[in-house]
């Protein structure tokens, strides 16, 4: 069996202290590393005065991690700069927020060189390398330049934008060409995959074959849609744990008979939080009879706080929540409970379960795991309703059971909330079953295996089932 070398910006291999708090991705990759042996390589999260290529090895819960420290300037240009101020907004269709600065692009290349230099000596014989996400587009090519002939895969966790948007990036073609250094590349949905095909064909002159093989000059890469899932089994267990039961009871007690509408998102402009608040405001305005029957619990831990656009969205949301609460609250009721902290996964599962409606309304999202977690946490005999944005990757899998909306439309959001609140138990169970079947079947292990099978065995995976 081949060893696996996973490379990502941050390493979230289990440590003795965080094993209960890991997300599905970390769980899936750690399981793969445990089965195959190998190393998880990435940035340590630490800053050093002078980069010296020192690698810190750690072994915990059967997984070896190898990390490097980076310089403050690296982080400013590569992480806060190119990754989060250039690529993230552009790939989420926000060219109005994307910043195209040469020093960001330079820092991005420099850090990818640092990754390549330090990880290259760790890659042996027939190791298989799997690189994660938009922080590392050029890493495959840089490893090839350093003589790495191993099979290398790349998975993109965010959307691949339409070519007319991507072409606003000065080095769009160079960036896209780097995808051809890989043997296999994966996207969450058919839509992102097709956007890649479109760019490859029209802007690079590549040839797309039926089986997903894309040819450019003498390079061939297998491109596939491989939607990520959650660790459904573990999440269901978590939702039935004593911690979750307690969180459920506390939530229901504090709701005093009112229906809870829940949103859980990193505080990010791609998640459509302002639009969500405005949609909810429309609902309050149009349905005075519902006002004191419900409240919105929005949990949004801040992220990327040093980037200006994130500071702006944070203060905009505080303003909006304050304005809505000011306009509608009464002595015995507040319409929005706005919370800025993170919660342990089991507690979160209990909170999801207590909510009659899950509002997952990103303006654009590669997948969105909160939608799947909300479904997995529900009581099978009395499940809540998922209101889901058409523009989340998750809509391709959960669209039959969710109430789908256009998140830009306050009217649709308001109507969907009413539909969800009034939905009878039988219909809720029917819709939930459809979604849960998918969440259980296409879980994170399925996702990982679909990719690593293609990478290790050069197999084109079966096409995804069509959802009407």
9 φ, ψ (degrees, to nearest 5): -55, -55
Closest approach of ligand ADQ to the CB of residue 467, in Å:
18
Site track for ligand ADQ across 372-391, x = CB under 6 A: -x------------------
Closest approach of ligand ADQ to the CB of residue 370, in Å:
4
Segment contacting ligand ADQ by CB under 6 A, of 167-175, 242-250, 316-324, 367-375? 367-375
411: part of which helix (H) or strand (E)?
Answer: helix 410-422
Interface pick for ligand ADQ out of 158, 181, 244, 336 (rule CB under 6 A): 158
Interface pick for ligand ADQ out of 229, 238, 335, 366 (rule CB under 6 A): 366
* 25 is a site residue for ligand ADQ (CB under 6 A): yes
Q: Which residue in the block uniquely carries the two structure tokens 């977690």?
A: 373
Distance CA 167, CA 50 (A): 35
Q: Which is nearer to ligand ADQ, 144 or 304 (CB)?
A: 304
Q: Which is nearer to ligand ADQ, 8 or 44 (CB)?
A: 8
Residues 408-437 that bind ligand ADQ (CB under 6 A): none
* 348 is a site residue for ligand ADQ (CB under 6 A): yes
Q: What is the dihedral of CA 207, 209, 215, 220, to 10 degrees?
A: 170
Closest approach of ligand ADQ to the CB of residue 351, in Å:
9
**Whether 153 contacts 128, CB under 8 Å:** yes
Closest approach of ligand ADQ to the CB of residue 349, in Å:
9
Q: Which of 66, 50, 208, 194 is nearest to 127 (CA)?
A: 66
Distance CA 127, CA 4 (A): 6
Site track for ligand ADQ across 297-336, x = CB under 6 A: --x-x-----------------------------------
Distance CA 17, CA 27 (A): 14
* 23 is a site residue for ligand ADQ (CB under 6 A): yes
Interface pick for ligand ADQ out of 328, 343, 408, 446 (rule CB under 6 A): 343
Could you tell me where the beta strands, DSSP code E, fall in 219-293?
A: 219-225, 259-264
* 365 is a site residue for ligand ADQ (CB under 6 A): yes
Residues 199-228 that bind ligand ADQ (CB under 6 A): 228
Distance between first and last Cα of the chain = 39
Strand 38-47, strand 4-10: pairing: parallel
Distance CA 409, CA 353 (A): 27
Closest approach of ligand ADQ to the CB of residue 340, in Å:
8
**Whether 386 contacts 358, CB under 8 Å:** yes
87 φ, ψ (degrees, to nearest 5): -70, -45
Closest approach of ligand ADQ to the CB of residue 460, in Å:
22
Interface pick for ligand ADQ out of 157, 163, 282, 353 (rule CB under 6 A): 157
* 367 is a site residue for ligand ADQ (CB under 6 A): yes
Site track for ligand ADQ across 253-282, x = CB under 6 A: -----------x-x----------------
Residue 293: C-alpha distances to residues 124, 302, 418, 421 (Å):
62, 29, 12, 10
How many of the other CB atoms lie within 10 Å of CB of 215?
A: 14
State both tokens at 68: 């490097």
Residue 50 buriedness (CB in 10 A; 0-12 / 13-18 / 19+): exposed
Task: List, by residue number, the catalytic residues.
Answer: 157, 365
Q: Which is nearer to ligand ADQ, 360 or 410 (CB)?
A: 360
Size of the site for ligand ADQ (CB under 6 A): 19
Segment contacting ligand ADQ by CB under 6 A, of 176-184, 189-197, 277-285, 342-350? 342-350
Q: Which is nearer to ligand ADQ, 335 or 358 (CB)?
A: 358
Q: Which is nearer to ligand ADQ, 24 or 383 (CB)?
A: 24
299: part of which helix (H) or strand (E)?
Answer: strand 294-299
Return the SS3 of 30.
helix
Please report, as ranges, the residues that interact with ligand ADQ according to CB under 6 A: 23, 25, 157-158, 228, 264, 266, 299, 301, 342-343, 348, 365-370, 373
């Amino acid at each position: 069996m081949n060893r696996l070398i996973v490379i990502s910006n941050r390493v979230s291999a289990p440590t003795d202290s965080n094993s209960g708090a890991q997300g599905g991705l970390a769980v899936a990759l750690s399981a793969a590393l445990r089965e195959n042996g190998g190393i998880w390589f990435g940035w340590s999260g630490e800053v050093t005065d002078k980069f010296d290529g020192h690698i810190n090895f750690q072994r915990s819960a059967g997984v070896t991690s190898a990390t490097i420290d980076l310089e403050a300037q690296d982080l400013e240009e590569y992480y806060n700069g190119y990754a989060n101020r250039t690529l993230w907004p552009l790939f989420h269709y926000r060219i109005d927020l994307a910043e195209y600065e040469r020093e960001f692009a330079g820092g991005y290349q420099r850090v990818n060189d640092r990754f390549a230099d330090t990880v290259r000596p760790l890659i042996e014989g027939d190791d298989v390398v799997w690189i994660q996400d938009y922080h590392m587009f050029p890493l495959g090519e840089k490893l090839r330049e350093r003589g790495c002939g191993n099979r290398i895969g790349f998975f993109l966790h965010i959307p691949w934008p339409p070519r007319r948007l991507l072409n606003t990036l000065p080095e769009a073609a160079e960036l896209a060409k780097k995808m051809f250094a890989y043997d296999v590349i994966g996207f969450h949905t058919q839509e992102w995959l097709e956007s890649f095909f479109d760019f490859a064909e029209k802007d690079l002159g590549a040839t797309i074959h039926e089986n997903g093989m894309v040819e450019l000059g003498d390079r061939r890469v297998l491109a596939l849609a491989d939607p990520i899932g959650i660790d459904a089994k573990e999440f269901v267990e978590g939702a039935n744990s004593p911690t979750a039961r307690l969180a459920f009871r506390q939530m229901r007690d504090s709701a005093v008979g009112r229906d809870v509408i829940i949103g859980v998102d990193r505080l990010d402009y791609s998640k459509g939080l302002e639009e969500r608040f405005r949609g909810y405001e429309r609902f309050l305005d149009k349905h005075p009879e519902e006002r004191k029957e419900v409240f919105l619990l929005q949990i949004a831990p801040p992220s990327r706080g040093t980037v200006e656009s994130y500071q702006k969205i944070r203060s905009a949301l505080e303003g909006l929540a304050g304005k809505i609460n000011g306009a509608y609250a009464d002595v015995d009721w507040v319409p929005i409970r706005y919370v800025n902290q993170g919660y342990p996964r089991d507690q979160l599962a209990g909170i999801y379960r207590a909510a009659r409606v899950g509002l997952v309304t990103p303006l654009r999202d590669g997948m969105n795991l909160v939608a799947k977690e909300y479904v997995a946490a529900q009581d099978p005999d009395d499940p809540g309703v998922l209101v889901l944005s058409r523009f989340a990757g998750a809509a391709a899998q959960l669209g039959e059971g969710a109430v789908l909306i256009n998140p830009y439309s306050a009217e649709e959001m308001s109507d969907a909330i009413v539909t969800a609140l009034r939905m009878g138990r039988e219909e809720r169970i029917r819709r939930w079953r459809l979604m849960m079947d998918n969440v259980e079947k296409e879980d994170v292990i399925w996702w990982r295996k679909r990719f690593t099978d293609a990478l290790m065995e050069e197999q084109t995976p079966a096409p995804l089932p069509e959802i009407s």
